[in-house]
Every structure is written in structure tokens, then in C-alpha cells.
Amino acid sequence: MSEKNKVKESFSYENFVGKKIEVSQPTLENLFDDDIKVPETWRDHWQDMPEFEQNDNAPYKTINVHFRTKEDYEDFSKKIEQSLTIKTKSIWHPKLDITKNSLLRWMEDDES
């Protein structure tokens, strides 16, 4: 690059390349101004919320299957009766019945 094509820096900065810098661990309190009180625990904020329990949905076993040809891949798709495309990364067997999240709603009965 010629001197003619170089652009002069318009801002000066400190070069920390090769230097070790001590940085404090970020916390939730670091994000707020001093006049905002951050709850001590999540329980202070989590009031009158519905109970929730996350089930363990991990698979029992995961395997990789290799196919020599496109025809072998299509044959496998027919045998397991699942639609596979070239973009398919994983499947469940038997086929997993998936409900779209957009169809799920939280409903409560009116007490009045």
C-alpha cells in the first residue's frame, strides 16, 4: 500500500495487544445505575407466577448413519416412513409429533 492510499487515524486509542488486562466479572448490578435497586434473589421478582417444571427430553441414544448413494438415502426414508430431505440434520424414531408453539396458549377459567 502506498503512502498516498493510507488513511490517517482520526481517533487515538490505546494499544493493548500483548498486555494482560484485569477485568471484573460482569454482574446484573453493573448494568444498572446506582439509583435502581436490583432484587437480591430471583424469588423477589418471581411472584404469583405459575409453576413450571422442565422435563428431561434428552434422547436415549443418538447415532450417525451414513449413506453411500442418494438412492440408499431415499430407501431409508421410505423404510422409516419419514420425509427426509438433503437438509435434514436429525430425526426422531418413531416420528415425533410436534405441536407448533403458535398453537399453545395459557388459559384460565373466569372465576366471576
What are 29-84's pLDDT values in tens digits?
666 656 656 556 777 777 787 888 888 888 999 999 999 999 999 999 999 999 99
- Rounded Cα distance, 12 and 64, in Å: 53
Beta strands in 12-93 (DSSP E): none
The letter for the amino acid at 31 is L
Angle at 45 between CA 42 and CA 46, to 5 degrees: 80
What whole-number percentage of the chain has pLDDT above 70? Answer: 80
Cell reading at 76? 431409508
Q: According to the model, what pLDDT value does residue 103 have? A: 75
The mean pLDDT of 91-112, rounded to a whole number, is: 77
- Rounded Cα distance, 39 and 29, in Å: 9
Q: According to the model, what pLDDT value does residue 63 have? A: 93
Q: According to the model, what pLDDT value does residue 37 have? A: 62
Q: What's the pTM value of the predicted model, to 2 decimals? A: 0.42
